[in-house]
Amino acid sequence: MMNLNINGKTVKVEAEADTPLLWVLRDELHMSGTKFGCGMALCGACTVHIDGQPTRACVMPLSAAAGKKITTIEAIGATPVGQRVQAAWAEIDVPQCGYCQSGQIMAATALLRAIPKPTDKDIDEAMSGNICRCGTYPRIRAAIHKAAGQA
């Protein structure tokens, strides 16, 4: 039994300390917004925020997440930057199949918190670990600029 702080609530979970956070989110807590892609920290589909830092939930053991603030796609829209990012995503109609997009939004929100007016280079660097098999990268970049208030 372990307590996790997820989206501002304390949640008790029954899992071994080395269970990846992603498994608990999806299978135990039925929070399906965070996606399973590669399971090896290679694609970014499972990105959540741990104390505000974008983190791959597929390789994050529960023991390392306990005691930290975990934020998932289900709650990112409740933050001012997350709200701007989601609005820009909708306006530019970024997703194609949508599978990678929770992770993209989590990565983009973390970027804009760290760098409110990112350049294309900043965006490419921050987003390079988030793979989109549908190739929505140009729209992702445009949506990040839009969320930053840059036309």
- Give residues in contact with ligand FES (CB under 6 A): 36-39, 41-46, 56, 58, 95-101, 132-134, 136
First-to-last alpha carbon distance for the chain, in angstroms, is 48
**What minimum distance in Å lies between the beta carbon of 89 and ligand FES?**
11
- Residue 141 CB contacts under 8 Å (≥ 6 apart), including other chains: 120, 123, 124, 127
For the record, the structure tokens of 132 come out as 């989109």
Nearer to ligand FES, 44 or 82 (CB): 44
- Residue 74 CB contacts under 8 Å (≥ 6 apart), including other chains: 7, 31, 33
Nearer to ligand FES, 93 or 116 (CB): 93
**What minimum distance in Å lies between the beta carbon of 1 and ligand FES?**
25
Nearer to ligand FES, 25 or 100 (CB): 100
Tokens 């709200």 — which residue? 83
Nearer to ligand FES, 42 or 78 (CB): 42
Q: Say how far apart CA 134 and CA 7 lie, in whole Å.
A: 29
**What minimum distance in Å lies between the beta carbon of 74 and ligand FES?**
17
